Structures are given as C-alpha cells and as structure tokens.
C-alpha cells in the first residue's frame, strides 16, 4: 500500500468514527431525532469500498453516513441533514436514513431493507446498454440477504451479466436477530456462490476491503457480470439509538473491538514505517476541526420554510398542473 493511501484510509475512517460519535451525542441532546443507525466499527467497509469504487453508481441502505463521507459528501451537509435543516443534503426532509447526492452518483439512503437491490440491478442494466464502463455498487446487510428482493437481484444480475458489485456487510445481526437463527449458514457468500464469483473478506481491515473491491471492480468493468463480496464486520453500538445491543455477549463485542479497523491500521502503518506517528496527531486534529465545523454549521443553519412541505412531491412542471 502507498503511504498516501493509508493516510487517506485513516483520515476518512477517523472522520467517520468521530462523525458518528458526534451524531450520537447530538441525538442524546435532542438535536437529532428519528432513527439514527451508527456505523461505528464498520468504517473499514465504507471507506475501503468507496476508495476503490470511485466512479460508478452507489446504492445503499440507511446506515450510510460514513459511506457518504467516504464517497466525498461534505460532513457539514450530512450533519445539517441529521439536524433536519434546510441546508442538509436532502433539505432536511430525509434525515439520517435518506442521504442522496446524484452528483456523486450516490442514490440513497433507502430504509426499506433490500429495497434498493432491484433498483441497483436496473441501474446496472442501463449502464450496460449505455456502454458505461463503471458499473454499480450496492451495499446491504446480512439481514437484507434473507429478503426475496436479494435473491431476485442476484439471479437477474447473473442472468444478464450485469456490472454490479453486491457488497454484503455481515455484522451478524439484523436488529436483534442473529443471522444464524434465520439463515442455514452464517457465511453468506454461499447464497451467491452458484451465480457469480464470491469472496469472503475481513471487513475490519480496510486494506483488504480496498483490495477486494478493486478486484471486483475490474471484474465487472470487463463485462464479466456481477461480483459478490461478503465482508465480516461488526457494529459496536445497538442497531439504532433505541437499541442497547445487549443481545450480544460482552466477549463477542470485545473480540471485534480488538480488531478495530482504525486502531489496527494505525498500529500496522507505524510498525511498517508507512506513516509517521505525527501524521496521526495531525489527522486527528483535522478531524476534530471538521466535525466541529459540521456541528456549528448544522446548529446555525435555518429550518426549512413551511412551503418546503409541498415542494418536491412532483417535478416543477407537474407541480404546476397538479393542484
């Protein structure tokens, strides 16, 4: 790995982690509400994948703040969205679960589990017939891999050889349901094995995620069809703010915490002499500054005006004819 790349990984993961912690704090203070799903522990998946998959289209579920940051979305605009402010990426109408930015080919922020997968398939189909090289990246959880939409999607994508990366974050739990209770196996690449190439990776290791996605990207760009990656990972927190996550044992949580993607990357980088220790201090400070700015921006931004309620239901032209 290039040291510059490692530095970027570290910075983005740290930024993601601190963003989530700040969001948690702001939620507890009442500035953020609704469902807030934190990515703490899973930063390597978001950052490694987006660093590798830097061009095509991205479809994601509701645990997407860090993915959006890694894709290049301004943390200020995300924090403002979480605060429900008009300056947020979705004008305060979407909230934490619904970050969209077509300019970054970032298409949500979908909170219906697995609902985005058939959509990603359709997009991949369009990219294929449009002759676009960069394909589509769809990220989802272990829970989503049980949905009918998932099975329909892997089948169609494989049947039509679509340029689509299925990236499954297997954190073993769908809210309080352990994957093994509702799936015959916990190694989920088995579900796609007969449809496309699959790979099970350590999702707590950002370099491994980066490498796997790079490889998958080359594969789909060559028109060979879809690719399935299962990343083993873990959320340290509960499913959302109202869940304590206590259906998991302390030991299990500790094991995964010992594999922390940020701490381990730092250790390795210093040991291998890739990055100087000073860099990390600088990065940490920069992160603090960015987060502080994001919160200030969100706090000081205005609420959406009341007429925003009726805007964006239809396109401008249609709004004129529909009362």
Partner 1 sequence: MLYREALNNAIDEMMAADESVVILGEDVGRYGGSYRVSEGLFAKYGAKRVIDTPIAELSIVGNAIGMAIAGLRPIAEIMTVNFSLLALDQIINHAAKFRYMSGGKMTIPLTIRMPGGVSKQLAAQHSESYETIYTAIPGLIVLAASNATYAYYGLKAAIALNDPVIFLEHELLYPMKMEFKPQENFDPFKAEIVKEGKDLTIITYLKMRYDVLQAIPTIEQTLNITVEVVDLNSLRPLDMSTITQSIQKTKRVAIVEEDHKTGGYGAEVIARISEELFYELDAPPLRIAGQDVPIPYNRTLELASIPTPKKIAQKIIQWGRENGL
Partner 2 sequence: MDYKIVMPVLSDTMQKGKLIRWRVHEGDRVHKGDVIAEVESDKAIMEVQTFQDGIVKKLLVKEGEEVPIQTPIAIIETDTNKKEALKPQQPQTSISPKEEPSTVPPVIQELLTTSPHPLPQGEASAAAKKRAAELGIDIQKLHSQKQLPTPAHLHDIEEIALKRYFTPKALKLLQDYNIDPKTFRKNHKITDQEVMSYIKEHNIPYSVPLSANRKAVIQTVEYAAKKPIYFVFETFVLKKVPNYKITAILLKKLGDVMQKHPLTRAKLEQEYLKIYPHSNISVAVAKGEELYMVVCKNIEEKSLEEINIWLQEIKDKTYIPQDLLGSTFGISNLGMFGIERFSAMINKDDVGIAAFGALQDNTIAVTFTFDHRILNGLDAAKFIQDCKKAFQGEENV
Task: Name the site residues for Mg ion (rule: CB under 5 A).
Answer: 141-143, 171, 174
Output the smallest distance, CB 70 to partner 1, in A: 23
Contact 102, 72 (CB under 8 A): no
Output the smallest distance, CB 261 to Mg ion, in A: 17
Distance between CA atoms of residues 128 and 126, nearest Å:
5
Give 21 or 274: the residue with its C-beta nearer to partner 2. Answer: 21
Residue 227's SS3 state is strand
Give 93 or 199: the residue with its C-beta nearer to partner 1. Answer: 93
| 113 contact, one of Mg ion, ligand TPP, partner 2, none, CB 5-8 Å limit per kind | ligand TPP
Which pair of structure tokens corresponds to residue 103?
Answer: 């300019």
**For the window 210-249, what string marks contact with partner 1 as x by the rule CB under 8 A?**
-------------------------------------x--
**For the window 131-160, what string marks contact with partner 1 as x by the rule CB under 8 A?**
------------xx-xxx------------
Structure-token match 């190694």, residue found:
187
Contact 111, 98 (CB under 8 A): yes
Residue choice 155, 222, 244, 276 for contact with partner 2 (CB under 8 A) = 244
Q: Are strands 106-109 and 100-101 parallel, antiparallel or unpaired?
A: antiparallel
Contact between 296 and partner 2 (CB under 8 A)?
A: yes
Of 18-26, 43-51, 185-193, 218-226, the segment contacting partner 2 by CB under 8 A is 18-26
∠ CA(77), CA(81), CA(83), 5° rounding? 120
Alpha carbon 240 to its chain centroid, in Å, reads: 15
Contact between 175 and partner 1 (CB under 8 A)?
A: yes
Cα torsion 79, 85, 89, 90 to 10°: value is 130
Contact between 257 and partner 2 (CB under 8 A)?
A: no
Q: Report residue 108: phi and psi, to 5°.
A: 85, 155
Give 182 or 224: the residue with its C-beta nearer to partner 1. Answer: 182
Contact 163, 128 (CB under 8 A): yes
Contact 103, 89 (CB under 8 A): no
Distance between CA atoms of residues 33 and 242, nearest Å:
11
Distance between CA atoms of residues 107 and 60, nearest Å:
7
Give 62 or 227: the residue with its C-beta nearer to partner 1. Answer: 62
Give 139 or 220: the residue with its C-beta nearer to Mg ion. Answer: 139
Contact between 241 and partner 2 (CB under 8 A)?
A: yes
- Report the interface residues with ligand TPP, using CB under 6 A: 63, 111-113, 140-144, 169, 171, 173-175, 239
Residues 6+ away with beta carbon under 8 Å from 144: 61, 113, 114, 117, 150, 168, 174
**For the window 186-225, what string marks contact with partner 2 as x by the rule CB under 8 A?**
----------------------------------------
Distances (CA, A) of 40 to 73, 164, 240: 18, 26, 11
Q: Which residues bind partner 1 (CB under 8 A)?
A: 33-35, 81, 84-85, 90, 92-95, 97-98, 110-114, 143-144, 146-148, 174-177, 181-183, 247, 303-304, 306, 308-310, 313
Interface residues with partner 2 (CB under 8 A) are 21-22, 24-31, 33-35, 238, 241-244, 246, 285, 288-289, 292, 295-296, 299
């Amino acid at each position: 790995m290039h040291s510059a790349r490692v530095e970027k990984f570290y910075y983005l993961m740290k930024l993601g982690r601190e963003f989530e912690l700040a969001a948690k704090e702001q939620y507890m203070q009442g500035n953020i509400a609704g469902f807030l799903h934190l990515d703490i522990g899973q930063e390597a998946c978001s950052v490694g994948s987006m660093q590798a998959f830097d061009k095509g289209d991205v479809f994601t579920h509701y645990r997407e703040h860090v993915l959006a940051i890694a894709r290049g979305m301004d943390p200020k605009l995300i924090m403002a969205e979480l605060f429900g402010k008009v300056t947020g990426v979705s004008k305060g109408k979407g909230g934490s679960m619904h970050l969209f930015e077509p300019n970054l080919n970032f298409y949500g922020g979908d909170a219906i589990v697995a609902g985005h997968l058939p959509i990603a398939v359709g997009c991949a189909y369009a990219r294929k017939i449009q002759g676009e090289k960069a394909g589509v990246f769809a990220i989802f959880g272990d829970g989503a891999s049980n949905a009918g939409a998932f099975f329909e999607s892997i089948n169609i994508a494989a049947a039509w050889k679509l340029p689509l990366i299925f990236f499954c974050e297997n954190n073993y739990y769908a809210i309080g349901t352990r994957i093994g209770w509702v799936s015959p196996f916990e190694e989920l690449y088995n579900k796609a094995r007969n449809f496309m190439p699959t790979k099970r990776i350590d999702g707590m290791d950002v370099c491994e995620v980066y490498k796997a996605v790079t490889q998958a990207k080359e594969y789909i760009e060559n028109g060979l069809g879809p690719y399935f990656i299962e990343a083993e990972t873990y959320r340290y927190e509960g499913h959302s703010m109202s869940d304590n996550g206590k259906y998991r044992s302390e030991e299990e949580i500790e094991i995964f915490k010992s594999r922390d993607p940020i701490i381990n990357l730092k250790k390795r980088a210093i040991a291998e002499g890739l990055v100087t220790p000073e860099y990390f201090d600088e990065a940490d400070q920069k992160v603090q500054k960015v987060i502080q700015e994001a919160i200030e921006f969100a706090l000081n931004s205005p609420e959406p005006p009341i007429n925003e309620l009726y805007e964006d239901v239809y396109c401008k032209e249609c709004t004129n004819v529909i009362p």
